[in-house]
Amino acid sequence: MNKYQLQERTKKFHIDVIRLCEVLPKNIAAYEIAKQLIRSAGSVGANYRAVCLSKSQTDFVYKIKVVLEEADESLYWLEILKETGIADHISLINPLLTEAKELVFIFSASRKKANDTLTKQNIKIAK
């Protein structure tokens, strides 16, 4: 998968999350979770676009860590929606859980590979 395909994939993830949140029950818990989920899912796509504009390998590693954190946070909120039963009945939830897990895996692997490259080049990165 190239960077343009991944940009489209992360954008679609954000759009699908918005669609899920539109059909959530209208209660305080669902509203608060939806706010967090929409924010983190949007950050996955927006920050991945920033990754694609990285100025250096070190900059790439720093930015991909942010994307990974946001993807993992999105996964967390989707799990909360599922496990509380708030969205258990909504058909969109399981595909989004799968997609969030896959994105976490992709960005984790990218971070590790880039980090390994920097280590081989003996370049220190900020934790």
Which of 7, 23, 15 is CA-nearest to residue 41?
A: 15
Q: Sign of dihedral through CA atoms 93, 30, 43, 62?
A: negative
The one-letter code for the residue type at 32 is E
Q: Are 23 and 91 in contact (CB under 8 A)?
A: no
pLDDT digits (tens, 9 = 90+) for 23-49: 999 999 999 999 999 999 999 999 999
| Ranges of each domain in the chain | 3-120
CATH assignment, 3-120: 1.20.1440.60
Q: Are 125 and 118 in contact (CB under 8 A)?
A: yes
pLDDT digits (tens, 9 = 90+) for 86-99: 998 889 999 999 99
